[in-house]
């Protein structure tokens, strides 16, 4: 079986991008003289961001899914990111008592959308 190791993107401001992904819990590091950012999640999957001087085309990507370990983690991260303002859609109430992805959609500094969630199973409803 193959494992997804990384996905590469373009980013205008690597400092803002680094701060955003640290907030999501990723370990970050800079490479290539600071012009490349690695954001590594607990699963080992990395997002790689290369600096660009023109806005990246984010329209080809629907979203990236980031599953957290608990509903409490989802709520805590929602509260932190709400203060920064990038929430696109709150799906928590809809899935509070239904099977599905309890979470929200959030945009990173370049407009890439992430679905941050914890899957709500039928046994938990």
Q: Is residue 51 part of a domain?
A: yes
Contact 64, 70 (CB under 8 A): no
Query: 31-51 pLDDT, tens per residue?
Result: 999 999 999 999 899 999 999
Query: 80-115 pLDDT, tens per residue?
Result: 999 887 899 999 988 877 788 899 999 999 999 999
Q: Is residue 47 part of a domain?
A: yes
Q: Is residue 1 part of a domain?
A: no
Residue 21: enclosing H or E segment and its boundaries? helix 14-23
Q: Is residue 76 part of a domain?
A: yes
Q: Is residue 82 part of a domain?
A: yes
Q: Is residue 50 part of a domain?
A: yes
Nearest to 52 by CA among 32, 26, 24, 25: 32
Query: 62-78 pLDDT, tens per residue?
Result: 999 999 999 999 999 99
- The count of domains in the chain is 1
Nearest to 20 by CA among 112, 121, 125: 112
pTM: 0.87
Instruction: Identify the CATH number of the domain in which residue 95 sits.
Output: 3.10.180.10
Residue 98: give the domain boundaries.
6-124
Which percentage of the chain shows pLDDT scores above 70?
97
Nearest to 49 by CA among 103, 13, 9, 83: 9
Residue 13 has pLDDT above 90, yes or no: yes
What is the mean pLDDT of the segment spanning 12-23? 97
Q: What is the pLDDT at residue 40? A: 97
Q: What is the pLDDT at residue 121? A: 72
Q: What is the pLDDT at residue 124? A: 62
Q: Is residue 59 part of a domain?
A: yes
């Amino acid at each position: 079986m193959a494992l997804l190791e990384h996905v590469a993107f373009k980013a205008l401001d690597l400092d803002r991008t680094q701060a955003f992904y640290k907030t999501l819990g990723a370990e970050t590091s800079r490479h290539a003289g600071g012009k490349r950012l690695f954001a590594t999640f607990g699963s080992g999957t990395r997002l790689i961001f290369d600096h660009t001087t023109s806005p990246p085309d984010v329209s080809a990507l629907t979203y990236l899914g980031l599953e957290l370990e608990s509903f409490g983690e989802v709520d805590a991260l929602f509260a932190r990111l709400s203060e920064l303002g990038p929430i696109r859609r709150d799906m928590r109430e809809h899935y509070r008592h239904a099977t599905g992805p309890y979470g929200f959609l959030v945009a990173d500094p370049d407009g890439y959308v992430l679905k941050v969630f914890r899957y709500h199973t039928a046994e938990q409803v």
